[in-house]
Amino acid sequence: MTTMAPPKRPEIKTALPGPKGQRIVSDDAQWVTPSYPRPSFKLVAERGEGVWVTDVDGNVFLDCNAGVAVCSTGHCHPEVVRAIQDQAAKLIHMCGTDYYYEHMPALARKLDEIVPVSSPTRTHFANSGTEAVETALKLAMHATGREKFIAFFNSFHGRTLGSLSLTSSKVAQRRGFKRQALDVVHVPYPNAFRDPFTGKKSDAATVSRQCLAWIEERLFKTTTPPEEVAGIVVECVQGEGGYVPAPKEFLHGLRRICDEHGIMLIVDEVQSGMGRTGKMFASEHYDLKPDIVTIAKGIGSGLPIGACVARADLMDWKPGAHASTFGGNPVCIAAALKTIELLENGLVKNSAEVGGYLKAGLEKLKAKHDSIGDVRGLGMMIGVEFVTDGETLAPDAEMRDRVEIECFNRGLIILGAGANTIRWSPPLTLTRENVDVALEIFDEAVTAARR
Ligand code: PLP
């Protein structure tokens, strides 16, 4: 008779952080910039394998955050590691701005096949999400000859000065940086759980209509002539803003507005792309065709690579207009090509299937715990919003923070997004067995965090 092995679980053996971890945290406090927005728990990672992370004191955690939605293929996927090692032994850098190597056209061609932008496309390579967004902004200005942008409250697009002009998820990201580098106006995002106009629960059709009317009836008729707008920048699922998917009718409304006024629709898929939502790109859930799309995070399984992919007719700028020394480095591209292969060969499907299983489990916990006001999301991009009670649905940021810590102390890594939401963004290799363990811990943590 065969006996089933018990599911693997986290193992916490020391206080957190343990003695080695404590030393690293205090060194970090002395030498590293204090501007990183670190959460109240302190994970000092040493090794990662799949969905498991071991800290420097030997504690083992189940990782449902994946280095903030980056390690799409899991930590140190052996095939990704091999692709990186093989490429590093051959050619690490050559500078694609001045020389050629096969990796750049190979990945650009592959992106043309998989992105939601209509083919033919062209790709500009970068090292991060923010740089991909900077590229999109410059490209939209260049292609339209205009310089205004529309972005959404609670959006996050990066922290360099151009993308920071769009970012509006937390005031700490902008405080002290004076005026925006770019001419950006912010407008309400259609969050049906928290109607941006009333703060109350509403429905997708109402918030979509109101948010579109805000742009067309107010903005365009008062401060912002549409013929001066270069681009509308939007996340199909707001990430740092709290894992909030937009309604389909809203995104189609934006597409219509852009078409009517010659505005570029820039969809930021830095967090929602690369299988995270159970399709390769979140835009696919909405049959949305952006003019320009930005990608980073999950594309390199942890190696720094970003991409701005646009309609080929838009990317007709001349040599020197935009480039990056490291962007599209051969080692990062080798990691990206292998990542895409793994995503196509099962991980996107797993994201949809196991993500659905995770969401169903979280919905059961919502029925059990009054403090959970909303469970929402697509694939393995799921937000759980905490509230003071099931009646008023008032946001409860402190409860969210306590849940985060209670999970961590039990060996489950999850991270906040927005003011009072926990984001689930695990490696796309997560299994149902992992989900059962994670949900059991989450349930205990929510109970323990109750006051
Ligand atoms: N855009 C979105 C939607 C993001 O979620 C992020 C990062 O969280 C960025 C852009 C910026 O990416 P990076 O931190 O790589 O600059």
Q: Is 386 in the pocket of ligand 1 (CB under 6 A)?
A: no
Q: How many helices (H) and strands (E) does the chain have?
A: 13, 17
* 174 alpha carbon – ligand 1 mean position (Å): 15
Specify whether the CB–CB gap between 393 and 386 falls below 8 A: no
Over the stretch 291-323, which tens digit does the pLDDT of each residue have? 999 999 999 999 999 999 999 999 999 999 999
Q: Residues spanned by CATH 3.40.640.10 within the chain?
A: 81-343
* 171 alpha carbon – ligand 1 mean position (Å): 16
Residue 152: which H helix or E strand, with range?
A: strand 148-152
159 CA: nearest ligand 1 atom? 16
CATH 3.40.50.1000 fits 19-76+346-449, yes or no: no
Residue 7: per-residue pLDDT: 93
The whole-model pTM stands at 0.98
Q: Which two tokens stand for residue 272?
A: 């929602």
Closest CA to 400 of 382, 413, 418: 418
Residue with CA nearest ligand 1 atom 13: 129
The residues that bridge with 266 in the sheet, in sequence order, are 233, 292
Query: Token match 């799921």: residue?
Result: 382
Q: Is 134 in the pocket of ligand 1 (CB under 6 A)?
A: no
φ, ψ (nearest 5 deg) of residue 393: 55, 30
Specify whether the CB–CB gap between 306 and 294 falls below 8 A: yes
Specify whether the CB–CB gap between 322 and 135 falls below 8 A: yes
Q: Is 158 in the pocket of ligand 1 (CB under 6 A)?
A: yes
Q: Is 434 in the pocket of ligand 1 (CB under 6 A)?
A: no
Q: Is 234 in the pocket of ligand 1 (CB under 6 A)?
A: no
* Cα angle 303-340-87, degrees, rounded to a multiple of 5: 50
Q: Is 130 in the pocket of ligand 1 (CB under 6 A)?
A: yes
Q: In what order do the strands lie in the sheet with 264-268?
A: 121-126, 306-311, 292-295, 264-268, 229-234, 148-152, 183-187
Over the stretch 384-431, which tens digit does the pLDDT of each residue have? 999 999 899 999 999 999 999 999 999 999 999 999 999 999 999 999
- Which distant-in-sequence residues (6+ apart) come within 8 Å of 125 by Cβ? 96, 104, 107, 108, 305, 306, 307, 324, 327, 328, 333
* Cα angle 350-84-315, degrees, rounded to a multiple of 5: 80
> Which stretches of the chain score pLDDT less than 70?
1-2
Residue 46: per-residue pLDDT: 98
Residue 238: per-residue pLDDT: 98
Over the stretch 257-272, which tens digit does the pLDDT of each residue have? 999 999 999 999 999 9
Q: Is 426 in the pocket of ligand 1 (CB under 6 A)?
A: no
Q: Residues spanned by CATH 3.90.1150.10 within the chain?
A: 19-76+346-449
Q: Is 239 in the pocket of ligand 1 (CB under 6 A)?
A: yes
Specify whether the CB–CB gap between 231 and 292 falls below 8 A: yes
Q: Is 269 in the pocket of ligand 1 (CB under 6 A)?
A: no
If one looks up domain 81-343 in CATH, what number appears?
Answer: 3.40.640.10
Residue 3: per-residue pLDDT: 76
272 CA: nearest ligand 1 atom? 3
Closest CA to 370 of 296, 447, 441, 314: 447
160 CA: nearest ligand 1 atom? 16
**Cα separation of 210 and 233, whole Å?**
18
Using CA atoms of 342, 343, 344, 346 in order, give the dihedral in degrees to the nearest 10: 80
Residue 1: per-residue pLDDT: 61
Residue 451: per-residue pLDDT: 81
Residue 111: per-residue pLDDT: 98
